[in-house]
C-alpha cells in the first residue's frame, strides 16, 4: 500500500537529516484534513462550507532529552520549514543550556512502519450538496411534525490524514474518516424557551443515507419533542443525595469525565485521585467490584485513532478490572514515570497542537446485570414508565421510597485534582412504587470515587453511549463512550442532585 | 505582502468571470510560547513553541448569484483552481449573505507593540523571565501543583473585496496564566508585555483567595436562599453563556434565542433598569479592540442594553440586512464588554454588607446548561462561606437559579474589583452544600 502524504517523503527525509546533523532526535507530524459542513435551519441553508487544513508539527529532542516544538502551515515551502526546524533546534539547545526539564523516554521506542486506511461506504465527495440538503430538510420537517419547533440540523463530514515519522525510522500513516449529525430543536411557549438536541455519528454519509440510522434519529427526535413542552412546566427537584439510575448516555459521560480524565498519564503525573507521588495506584480498589472500565475504539467508533501522535500503536486499555485499577491512558513521556505501561494514548487535534494523553471510546461494563427482554430494545424505545415497571416487578423499589432516573446528558466537567465532577442531564424523573414524575434537569455532581464505589448493578448489557467531542488543554478531539443500558448508583452523601 | 498573493488570485478569477464578487479576510500569525507544569520548565507538555500560520476566510459570489464560503491558508494559493472547483460544489442561494463592501473609513486603533513582536522573532527571554517569576511566586507559598504559561503572538490581518476595499491592521497579543492547584488562576491577556506592578497587584489579590481556599476551615452551612457573590471570572462566564449568546443576531432572527426580534423592536426590559451593556472595540491597546471585522465592517462602539432595555442584537452584515439595521460591534474571543450600573459597589463594601452568604470562585460544567432558558444548576468545588462580613470557612456548594431572573431582582448588584475589568455579581439564589467531612 502506498504511504499517505507520500509527496512529502523527500521533505521529511531532508528534515531528519538536518535534525541528525544538529545532534537532535525529530518527530515530524504532517496533517491533512478536509471538512464539509452543512447547516440547514428549517428548510433553508444557513451555511455550507468546505474547510481544508494542511501543515507540519515538529518536535526535537537533544541527546540529553531537552525539547522544543514548532509548527507551520506552509509545508510546500521547504526553506520555511527548514528555517523553523533550525529555530527549534536552537531553542532545544537553549533549554539544555538553561537546564530546563528533560525527558529521554522517546529514545526507548522501537521503530515501526504501518499504513492504515479504514474502508468507508461512501467517498468524501460522493454526496452532492443538494442530496445533503434534502435529507437535513426532511429531518427538520419530521421534527416540526411532532412539535412546532425551530429545527436546526448540522452535518459535518471530516477526513483526517496523518503521517508521523521519527528519527528512529518510524513511518506511520493513517486516515480517519468520520461524520456527525446534530439536530438542535428550540421550543418556545409564552415566554418560556427550551432547547435540546439529537445526534448520530459515523464514518461517512451513511448517517444520512442508512434508513435504520435515520429511523433511530427520528425516534430520538420524537422522544425529545414529546418531553420538551412538559419540561417547560415541571418544577425543579429538591436537591439532595438519592438512589440514582443513569441511562447509558449519562453513565458513559460519568466514566469519561469523572474517571477517564483522572486516568490519563499526564494527569497521573500532575497528581490525580488515581496517583500518589506521581505513581499510578495500580491494584487500588477504585470502584465497586462489579465495575470494569476500558478504553478502546475500533475503526467504527468515533474516537478511533490507530496510532498515537508519537507514532505508537494504540492498545486496548483495561483501566479497571472488577473494581481494581490496572492501567492508564498513557503516552511515552509519562508512562514509565507514572509506573503505567505504555498504551499509545496521545492525540493532537492539529499539526500545531502539542500531543497529550486522550481517551478514545471509554467503556463502562457493570458485571451484575438484571436483564430482561425490555433491554434488548434500543434505548430510545424504552420509556421511563417501562423502566419504573421493571424496577417494581423486580422488587428494586421495595424498601426504597424513590429512585431518581437521569435521562440523557448534556456533557460534563471534572476537577482532576479535587476528584469532583459535574454532569448535566436532559431530564430528571422521580420513580416511586406508584408513580413516574418528570422534573426540570438538574446537575449531577460529586466525588468520582464515591460515585464508582456506589455502582451496584446494571439493567441490560452494553449500549452505545454518547458520541461527541472532548476538550482538554484547548484541544477538541472526537470521542465516544458506552455503558450498560442503565446503571444503578446507591445513595451517597457525596453524590448530589442540584435543585431547590 | 502575503495578502497580495491572495488578492491576485481572486482578482484573476473575477477578471476571467469565474466569480462575480468576493470578500476575503486573511491573517498571518507568528507565535511563541513557553510553560511550566509543576517544577518542569519547558517540559514535554509545555515546550518552547514557535508557530507560523496563514489562515482566513472567503465568501465568493458566482455568476449565477449563488454564494460559497471556505477557509483559506497557504495551501489555497498552491491549489487555487482546485479550490474554486471544490467551492463551486457547495454553492447555495443566500441573497442576504452576499455583501461586498467598498472602501470604508476606519478608526485609528492602536493594537501593535514592537516589543511583543520581538519576542516572536527570537527574543523569547522576556517570556521565560515572566514564567520564572510566576513560578517563584507560587514556590513562595508552596503550591503543590502549578500550571504556568506565557505566550506572544504577532498578527497581520487584511480584508479586501471585489468592490475596491483593501485594508490591513497589525496587532500583537501577550498573555500569561498561572494556575494555583487549579483552585484559582492568575491570568491576563494584553496587547503589550504586562507591567510588573499590575501583575504584582493581581497576584496579591489572587493569593489572598488561595490562602482562604487552603487555610480556612471546612464548613457546612444550612441550605437556603442566600447572597452569592460570583467572582468576576465566574460572572463573566455566566454572562457570556446566558446573556451575550442570546444577543447573537443569527439566533435572534432564527428564533433560537431567549429574545425575539420583537423584543428588540419593542425595546423590551431584559435586565434591571439600571444595567447597561456596551462594547467598545476602538479603545487603544484593549485586547478586545479591532480596526475592522472579518467582513470589513469598521470597528465602532455599540450599546446593546440601555437602562436594562434591549437595544440591538449583535449584527454582522447578513443579519443587519435581514433586520434592516446597521451592523454592530462584533464580540471577539478576548472581548470584555462594559457592563455598568449606577449602583455598583466595591468588593470590600459588598463583603461588609453580607450577613450570611457565599463567594463562588469557580463552577463546573457551565457548558452543559441550556443558554436559552437562563436556568442553571452548577456545582462549585471552591466556595468561601461569609458570616457577618467575614470569610469564615471553605466549602463545596451547588447554586441553582436563573440568570435572567437574578439580573432583574432588586438584590442584584455589580461588584467592582480593583484588579478586574468585568464586575462580579451579587445574586440571591438557592445554595446547597456538601458535607464538611
What does the DSSP 8-state code read for residue A261? G
B151 and B286 together in one domain: no
B9 and B140 together in one domain: yes
Mean pLDDT of B126-148: 92
Interface of B with A in 194-233 (CB under 8 A): 223
CATH topology of domain A6-233: PmbA/TldD fold (3.30.2290)
B35 and B102 together in one domain: yes
The per-residue pLDDT for A190 is: 84
pLDDT tens profile B217-268: 999 899 889 999 999 999 999 999 999 999 999 999 999 999 999 999 999 9
Chain B partners within 8 Å of A418 (Cβ): 182, 381
Among the partner-chain residues A67, A73, A415, the one whose CB lies closest to the CB of B44 is A67
Give the number of other Cβ atoms within 10 Å of residue A233's Cβ: 10
**What residues pair up with B378 in beta bridges, in sequence order?**
B399
The per-residue pLDDT for B122 is: 74
CA distance B113 to B173: 9
B255 domain residue, yes or no: no
Say if CB A323 and CB A330 are below 8 A apart.
no
* Buried-exposed string A55-86: b where 16+ CB fall within 10 A, e elsewhere: bbbbbbbbeebbbbbbbbbbbbeeeebeebbb
Which of B309, B336, B363 is a domain's end point?
B336
Query: Residue B437 pLDDT more than 60?
Result: no
Chain B partners within 8 Å of A89 (Cβ): none
pLDDT tens profile A226-279: 999 999 999 999 999 999 999 999 999 999 999 999 999 999 999 999 999 999
B232 and B277 together in one domain: no
Which of B315, B336, B357 is a domain's end point?
B336
The per-residue pLDDT for B436 is: 46
B8 and B98 together in one domain: yes
Mean pLDDT of A333-356: 97
B253 domain residue, yes or no: no
Chain A partners within 8 Å of B128 (Cβ): 98
Contact A443 B378 (CB under 8 A): yes
pLDDT tens profile A173-200: 999 999 999 999 999 998 889 999 999 9
Tabulate helix, strand, coil % of chain B (nearest 5): 25, 35, 35
Three-state secondary structure of B48-83: EEEEEEEEEEEEEEECCCCEEEEEEEHHHHHCHHHH
The per-residue pLDDT for A418 is: 83
B272 and B316 together in one domain: yes
Mean pLDDT of A448-466: 90
Chain B: closest CA distance from residue A70 (Å): 5
Mean pLDDT of A376-397: 95
Q: How far does chain A reach from its first CA to its final CA, in angstroms?
A: 61
Chain A partners within 8 Å of B132 (Cβ): none
Say if CB B43 and CB B139 are below 8 A apart.
no
Domain that residue B273 falls in: 260-336
The per-residue pLDDT for B336 is: 85
CA A392 and chain centroid, separation: 35
Mean pLDDT of B345-369: 96
B313 and B419 together in one domain: no
The per-residue pLDDT for B435 is: 62
Which sign does the torsion angle of CA B76, B79, B81, B84 carry? negative
Which of B336, B364, B390 is a domain's end point?
B336
Contact A67 B93 (CB under 8 A): no
B16 and B138 together in one domain: yes
ipTM: 0.93
Among the partner-chain residues B68, B255, B375, the one whose CB lies closest to the CB of A150 is B255
Q: How confident is the model at residue A466 (pLDDT cuts 50, 70, 90)?
A: confident
Cell of B234: 465566574
Chain A partners within 8 Å of B76 (Cβ): 52
CA distance B146 to B142: 10
Q: How confident is the model at residue A468 (pLDDT cuts 50, 70, 90)?
A: confident
Angle between helical axes of B2-15 and B80-89 (0-180°, round to 10): 60
Mutation target to probe the B interface, by most B beta carbons within 10 A, among A105, A193, A352 is: A193
Say if CB B299 and CB B281 are below 8 A apart.
yes
The β-bridge relationship of strands A361-366 and A475-489 is parallel
Say if CB A295 and CB A361 are below 8 A apart.
yes
Angle between helical axes of A211-233 and A129-146 (0-180°, round to 10): 40
CA distance A41 to A184: 9
Chain B partners within 8 Å of A69 (Cβ): 47-50
The β-bridge relationship of strands B356-360 and B224-230 is parallel
The per-residue pLDDT for A465 is: 65
Q: What CATH number is associated with residue B183?
A: 3.30.2290.10
What are residue A332's phi and psi, to 5 degrees?
A: -65, -30
Among the partner-chain residues A269, A422, A440, the one whose CB lies closest to the CB of B364 is A422
CA distance A87 to A24: 12
| A73: closest chain B residue by CA | B53
Mean pLDDT of A297-306: 92
Mean pLDDT of B119-145: 90
Instruction: Please enumerate in sequence order all residues whose Cβ is within 8 A of that of B332, keeping only pairs 6 or more positions apart, or say none.
Output: B281, B288, B290
| A333: closest chain B residue by CA | B44
Outline where DSSP puts E strands in B329-389. 338-340, 345-346, 356-360, 375-387
Mean pLDDT of A113-127: 94
| B120: closest chain A residue by CA | A87
Contact A499 B377 (CB under 8 A): yes
Contact B52 A48 (CB under 8 A): no
Chain B partners within 8 Å of A421 (Cβ): 364
Interface of B with A in 268-297 (CB under 8 A): none
B322 and B350 together in one domain: no
Which long-range contacts link B258-263 to residues 24+ away (Cβ below 8 Å)? B258/A193, B258/B371, B258/B372, B258/B373, B258/B374, B258/B404, B259/B310, B259/B313, B261/B323, B263/B310
The per-residue pLDDT for B121 is: 79
B304 and B328 together in one domain: yes
Q: Is B78 on the interface with A (CB under 8 A)?
A: yes
Interface of B with A in 368-427 (CB under 8 A): 368-373, 375, 377-379, 381, 396, 398-400
| B259: closest chain A residue by CA | A191
Q: How far does chain B reach from its first CA to its final CA, in angstroms?
A: 64
**What is this structure's pTM?**
0.94
Contact A194 B373 (CB under 8 A): yes
Angle between helical axes of B125-140 and B196-215 (0-180°, round to 10): 30
Chain A partners within 8 Å of B182 (Cβ): 415-418
Domain parsing of chain A, residue ranges: 6-233, 244-497
Chain A partners within 8 Å of B87 (Cβ): 50
Place of cell 456506589: A454
Mean pLDDT of chain A: 95
CA distance B147 to B182: 8
B278 domain residue, yes or no: yes
B105 and B196 together in one domain: yes
Mean pLDDT of B404-431: 96
Chain B partners within 8 Å of A66 (Cβ): 42
Contact A80 B93 (CB under 8 A): no
Number of domains, chain B: 3
pLDDT tens profile B64-85: 999 999 999 999 999 999 999 9
The per-residue pLDDT for B332 is: 85
The per-residue pLDDT for A325 is: 98
The per-residue pLDDT for A201 is: 94
* A-B C-beta contacts closer than 8 Å: 242
Q: Is B432 on the interface with A (CB under 8 A)?
A: yes
What does the DSSP 8-state code read for residue B46? S
Amino acid at each position: 500500500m502506498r504511504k499517505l502524504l507520500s509527496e512529502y517523503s523527500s521533505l521529511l527525509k531532508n528534515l531528519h537529516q538536518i535534525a541528525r546533523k544538529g545532534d537532535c532526535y525529530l518527530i515530524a507530524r504532517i496533517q491533512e484534513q478536509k471538512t464539509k459542513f452543512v447547516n440547514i435551519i428549517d428548510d433553508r441553508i444557513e451555511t455550507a462550507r468546505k474547510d481544508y487544513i494542511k501543515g507540519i508539527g515538529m518536535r526535537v529532542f537533544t541527546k540529553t532529552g531537552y525539547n522544543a516544538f514548532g509548527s507551520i502551515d506552509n509545508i510546500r515551502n521547504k526553506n520555511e520549514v527548514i528555517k523553523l526546524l533550525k529555530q527549534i533546534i536552537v531553542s532545544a539547545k537553549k533549554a539544555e543550556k538553561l537546564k530546563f526539564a528533560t525527558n529521554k523516554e522517546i529514545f526507548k521506542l522501537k521503530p515501526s512502519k504501518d499504513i492504515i486506511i479504514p474502508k468507508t461506504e461512501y467517498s468524501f465527495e460522493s454526496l452532492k450538496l443538494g442530496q445533503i440538503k434534502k435529507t437535513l430538510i426532511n429531518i427538520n420537517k419530521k421534527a416540526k411534525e411532532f412539535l412546532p419547533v425551530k429545527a436546526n440540523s448540522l452535518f459535518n463530514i471530516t477526513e483526517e490524514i496523518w503521517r508521523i515519522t521519527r528519527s528512529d525510522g518510524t513511518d506511520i500513516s493513517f486516515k480517519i474518516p468520520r461524520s456527525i449529525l446534530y439536530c438542535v430543536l428550540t421550543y418556545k411557549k409564552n415566554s418560556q424557551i427550551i432547547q435540546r438536541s439529537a445526534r448520530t455519528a459515523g464514518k461517512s454519509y451513511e448517517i444520512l443515507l442508512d434508513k435504520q440510522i435515520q429511523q433511530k434519529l427520528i425516534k430520538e427526535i420524537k422522544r425529545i419533542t414529546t418531553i420538551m413542552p412538559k419540561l417547560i412546566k415541571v418544577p425543579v427537584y429538591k436537591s439532595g443525595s438519592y438512589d440514582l439510575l443513569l441511562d447509558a448516555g449519562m453513565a458513559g459521560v460519568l466514566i469519561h469525565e469523572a474517571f477517564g480524565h483522572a486516568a490519563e498519564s499526564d494527569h497521573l503525573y500532575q497528581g490525580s485521585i488515581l496517583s500518589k507521588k506521581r505513581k499510578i495506584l495500580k491494584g487500588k480498589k477504585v470502584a465497586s467490584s462489579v465495575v470494569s472500565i476500558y478504553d478502546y475504539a475500533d475503526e467504527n467508533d468515533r474516537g478511533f485513532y490507530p496510532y498515537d501522535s508519537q507514532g505508537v500503536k494504540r492498545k486496548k486499555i483495561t483501566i479497571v478490572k472488577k473494581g481494581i485499577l490496572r492501567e492508564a491512558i498513557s503516552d511515552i513521556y509519562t508512562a514509565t514515570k507514572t509506573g503505567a505501561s505504555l498504551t499509545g494514548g496521545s492525540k493532537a487535534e492539529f499539526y500545531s497542537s502539542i500531543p497529550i494523553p486522550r481517551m478514545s471510546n471509554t467503556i463502562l461494563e457493570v458485571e451484575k446485570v438484571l436483564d430482561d427482554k425490555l433491554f434488548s430494545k434500543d434505548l430510545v424505545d424504552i420509556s421511563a414508565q417501562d423502566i419504573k415497571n421493571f424496577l417494581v416487578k423486580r422488587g428494586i423499589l421495595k424498601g426504597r421510597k424513590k429512585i431518581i432516573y437521569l435521562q440523557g446528558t448534556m456533557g460534563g466537567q471534572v476537577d482532576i485534582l479535587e476528584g469532583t465532577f459535574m454532569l448535566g442531564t436532559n431530564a430528571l424523573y422521580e420513580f416511586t412504587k406508584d408513580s413516574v414524575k418528570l422534573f426540570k434537569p438538574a446537575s449531577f455532581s460529586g466525588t468520582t470515587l464515591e460515585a464508582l464505589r456506589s455502582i451496584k448493578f446494571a439493567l441490560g448489557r452494553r449500549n452505545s453511549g454518547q458520541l461527541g467531542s472532548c476538550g482538554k488543554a484547548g484541544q477538541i478531539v472526537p470521542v465516544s463512550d458506552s455503558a450498560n443500558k442503565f446503571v444503578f448508583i446507591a445513595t451517597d452523601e457525596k453524590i448530589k442532585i442540584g435543585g431547590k | 505582502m502575503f495578502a497580495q498573493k491572495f488578492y491576485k488570485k481572486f482578482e484573476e478569477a473575477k477578471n476571467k468571470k469565474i466569480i462575480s464578487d468576493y470578500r476575503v479576510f486573511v491573517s498571518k500569525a507568528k507565535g511563541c510560547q513557553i510553560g511550566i507544569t509543576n517544577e518542569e520548565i519547558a517540559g514535554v507538555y509545555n515546550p518552547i513553541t514557535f508557530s507560523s500560520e496563514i489562515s482566513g476566510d472567503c465568501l465568493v459570489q458566482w455568476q449565477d448569484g449563488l454564494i460559497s464560503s471556505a477557509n483559506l491558508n497557504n495551501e489555497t494559493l498552491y491549489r487555487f483552481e482546485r479550490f474554486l472547483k471544490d467551492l463551486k460544489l457547495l454553492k447555495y442561494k443566500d441573497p442576504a449573505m452576499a455583501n461586498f463592501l467598498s472602501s470604508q473609513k476606519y478608526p485609528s486603533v492602536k493594537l501593535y507593540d514592537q516589543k511583543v513582536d520581538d519576542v516572536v522573532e527570537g527574543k523569547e527571554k522576556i517570556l521565560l523571565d515572566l514564567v520564572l517569576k510566576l513560578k517563584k511566586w507560587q514556590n513562595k507559598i508552596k503550591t503543590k501543583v502549578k500550571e504556568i504559561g506565557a505566550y506572544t503572538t504577532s498578527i497581520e490581518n487584511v480584508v479586501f473585496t471585489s468592490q475596491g476595499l483593501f485594508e490591513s491592521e497589525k496587532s500583537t497579543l501577550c498573555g500569561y496564566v498561572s494556575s494555583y492547584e487549579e483552585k484559582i488562576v492568575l491570568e491576563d491577556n494584553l496587547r503589550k508585555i504586562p507591567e510588573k506592578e499590575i501583575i504584582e497587584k493581581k497576584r496579591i489579590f489572587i493569593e489572598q483567595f488561595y490562602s482562604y481556599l487552603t487555610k480556612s476551615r471546612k464548613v457546612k452551612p444550612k441550605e437556603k436562599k442566600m447572597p452569592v457573590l460570583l467572582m468576576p471570572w465566574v460572572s463573566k462566564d455566566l454572562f457570556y453563556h446566558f446573556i451575550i449568546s442570546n444577543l447573537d443576531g443569527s439566533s435572534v432572527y432564527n428564533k433560537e434565542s431567549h429574545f425575539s426580534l420583537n423584543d428588540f423592536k419593542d425595546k423590551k426590559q431584559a435586565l434591571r433598569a439600571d444595567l447597561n451593556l456596551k462594547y467598545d472595540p476602538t479603545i487603544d491597546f484593549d485586547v478586545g479592540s479591532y480596526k475592522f471585522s472579518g467582513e470589513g465592517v469598521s470597528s465602532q462602539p455599540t450599546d446593546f442594553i440601555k437602562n436594562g432595555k434591549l437595544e440591538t442584537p449583535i449584527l454582522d452584515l447578513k443579519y443587519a440586512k435581514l433586520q434592516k439595521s446597521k451592523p454592530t460591534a462584533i464580540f471577539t474571543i478576548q472581548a470584555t464588554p462594559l457592563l455598568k450600573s449606577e449602583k455598583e459597589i466595591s468588593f470590600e463594601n459588598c463583603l461588609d454588607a453580607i450577613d450570611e452568604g457565599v463567594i463562588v470562585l469557580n463552577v463546573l460544567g457551565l457548558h452543559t446548561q441550556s443558554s436559552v432558558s437562563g436556568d442553571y444548576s452548577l456545582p462549585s468545588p471552591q466556595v468561601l462561606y461569609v458570616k457577618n462580613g467575614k470569610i469564615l470557612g471553605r466549602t463545596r456548594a451547588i447554586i441553582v437559579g436563573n440568570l435572567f431572573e437574578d439580573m432583574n431582582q432588586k438584590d442584584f448588584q455589580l461588584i467592582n474589583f480593583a484588579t478586574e475589568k468585568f464586575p462580579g455579581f451579587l445574586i440571591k439564589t438557592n445554595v446547597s452544600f456538601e458535607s464538611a467531612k
